[in-house]
Copies of this chain bind each other. A is one copy, B any other.
Amino acid sequence: MDVTFVLLGATGDLTKRKLIPAIYHLLANKAVDKVLLVGVARRKIAIQSILKEAKTFISKPNNNIWQKIVVSSYYQQLDFYDEEHYAALGRRLENLEAKHELSGNRLFYLATLPQHFDTITLNLSKTKIARQTSQNWSRLVYEKPFGNDLASARKINSCISRAFREDQVYRIDHYLGKELVGNIAILRFTNRVFEPLWNRHHLESVQVTFDEDIGLAGRGNFYDKYGALKDVVQNHVLQILALIAMESPQKLTGKFIRDEKAKVLKKIKVSDVLLGQAKPYRKEPKVNPKSHTETFSAIKLNINNNRWRGVPFYIRAGKYLHRKEVSIHLKFKPIHCLLTTTCPSDTNYLTIRVNPNEGFTLELFAKVPGQANHVQSALMDHSHDRLRQISSPEAYQVLLHEVILGNQSLFVRDDEIEHAWKVIDSIKSRNWKVFPYPAGSPGPKELSLFEKKHKMRWR
């Protein structure tokens, strides 16, 4: 398989940090035989300077493989709003594909701001440079964020659907490429130990935690318009939640999984929200010093269907926190206690650790050795890295590979994106107070009131 990667927004961070290293690893692992790499952006720049930076994000690059990338990489300056430029890009691609003897499979990666998505989509369509034939495919990958609210997402979707078929369209949520997110459905649906318990009869609550210890990392301009809800909850957190909460799909493949995720996202009803802003946030470069943008959010929501009626889902996402942890906690209901000694003070948990220390843990109770009928908790842990002595592949490598294979399971469909935006819009439509919190803390102190009010405890 050979592929022409057209990276739109090639001067941005994502291209250097993630996309080019991912393409390198696909070549190294022989997931593709041959590539053409065409960087596209507004600025005048040499491809070498992009490659030079990108190389620093590959650990121990093999020189032979890296040279394959160097000799087949090009740059094309392009104004996203000038149709003529797309025609020129089309001619360039044809020439380069002929020169490098490529079959013309084209992967267009839109790593730009979402406001350019419809213009780029329209122009790629008009100039027919993303056309498919019986010999080769063209696929379009849209980086997140996909719009800014329901209206803008709908606008992009309708533009895409007029120009392309949905099976050519890959909306990125790179968390879907994470090992343990990919493991959610496998754990649920291949284990008899879990599947029958995955419902309101046996689960007391579900928590999804998305804690980051870092701040903005220079993204002030972007982040101040988005905030935690739009930057992380709308996509990563709600996608994880949808995988946890969806009904059993007919098969574990693209269409069926996306059908079920869309259905469950549609059923979400937010019942409480707590927003916070880290104290150093307003002093960040390019952030409005009077900004009310939230850098932390905690949400209680319900899913109004037969499986989940009465089971609260708690999600939280924030930056500048005391720890880095993306994890899912399924808390089992208590069991009728038959002990006459001391009963367990807590219940069983299944914890899926997405990041860091990918893996999952089952917290059980077992006998205290040497003492009849005394229980203590017994942790059963499964770390993914330990499993094969290799570290899991990077999400972008996984996702680009899936695009090349034409498998849409790990990408978000138009209706899913819109349902998720509806959830965010419903929160934004009310003016929630934003409580300050110190950097390096677990969030606003009002969190403990939230715990008390809902009789829950964050893990």
| Residues of chain A having any CB pair with chain B under 8 Å | 179, 182-183, 186-187, 189-197, 201-202, 248-253, 332-335, 337-340, 343-344, 347-348, 350, 360, 362, 364-370, 372-373, 375-376, 378-382, 384-385, 387-388, 390, 392-393, 398, 402, 407, 409-410
12 A-B contact pairs sorted by A residue (CB < 8 Å): A182-B367, A186-B366, A187-B364, A190-B344, A190-B375, A196-B196, A250-B338, A360-B366, A366-B387, A369-B387, A369-B392, A370-B398
Q: Are B333 and A362 in contact (CB under 8 A)?
A: no
Q: How far is the CB of A358 from chain B (nearest CB, A)?
A: 8
On chain B, the residues within 8 Å of A191 by CB distance are 335, 348, 364-365
Whole-angstrom distance between the alpha carbons of A378 and B358 in the complex? 14
| Partner among B197, B333, B370 whose Cβ is within 8 Å of the Cβ of A392 | B370
Q: Are A338 and B251 in contact (CB under 8 A)?
A: yes
Whole-angstrom distance between the alpha carbons of A250 and B337 in the complex? 10
| Partner among B193, B253, B387 whose Cβ is within 8 Å of the Cβ of A362 | B193
Nearest opposing residue in chain B for A339, CB measure: B252
Whole-angstrom distance between the alpha carbons of A335 and B392 in the complex? 27
Give this chain's copy count. 2
Q: Are B195 and A253 in contact (CB under 8 A)?
A: no
Q: How far is the CB of A206 from chain B (nearest CB, A)?
A: 14
Q: Are B187 and A366 in contact (CB under 8 A)?
A: yes
Nearest opposing residue in chain B for A338, CB measure: B252
On chain B, the residues within 8 Å of A390 by CB distance are 369-370
Nearest opposing residue in chain B for A252, CB measure: B338
Q: Are A195 and B335 in contact (CB under 8 A)?
A: yes
Given contacts A344-B190, A364-B193, contact A369 B384 (CB under 8 A): yes
Q: Are B192 and A332 in contact (CB under 8 A)?
A: yes
Nearest opposing residue in chain B for A380, CB measure: B380
Whole-angstrom distance between the alpha carbons of A8 and B333 in the complex? 50
Given contacts A369-B387, A378-B382, contact A339 B182 (CB under 8 A): no
Nearest opposing residue in chain B for A365, CB measure: B190
Q: How far is the CB of A258 from chain B (nearest CB, A)?
A: 14
Q: Are A340 and B378 in contact (CB under 8 A)?
A: no
Nearest opposing residue in chain B for A29, CB measure: B370
Whole-angstrom distance between the alpha carbons of A43 and B128 in the complex? 106
Q: Are B182 and A372 in contact (CB under 8 A)?
A: yes
Q: How far is the CB of A171 from chain B (nearest CB, A)?
A: 17
Q: How far is the CB of A17 from chain B (nearest CB, A)?
A: 20
Q: How far is the CB of A298 from chain B (nearest CB, A)?
A: 26
Q: How far is the CB of A164 from chain B (nearest CB, A)?
A: 24
Nearest opposing residue in chain B for A381, CB measure: B380
Whole-angstrom distance between the alpha carbons of A59 and B370 in the complex? 18
Whole-angstrom distance between the alpha carbons of A365 and B185 in the complex? 11
Q: Are A334 and B186 in contact (CB under 8 A)?
A: no
On chain B, the residues within 8 Å of A367 by CB distance are 179, 182-183, 186-187
Whole-angstrom distance between the alpha carbons of A335 and B198 in the complex? 14
On chain B, the residues within 8 Å of A202 by CB distance are 192, 196
Q: How far is the CB of A372 from chain B (nearest CB, A)?
A: 6
Q: Are A186 and B375 in contact (CB under 8 A)?
A: yes
Q: Are A382 and B366 in contact (CB under 8 A)?
A: yes
Nearest opposing residue in chain B for A373, CB measure: B252
On chain B, the residues within 8 Å of A253 by CB distance are 340, 373
Whole-angstrom distance between the alpha carbons of A417 and B185 in the complex? 47
Q: How far is the CB of A191 from chain B (nearest CB, A)?
A: 5
- Among A196, A333, A398, A409, max chain B CB count under 10 A is at A196
Nearest opposing residue in chain B for A184, CB measure: B367
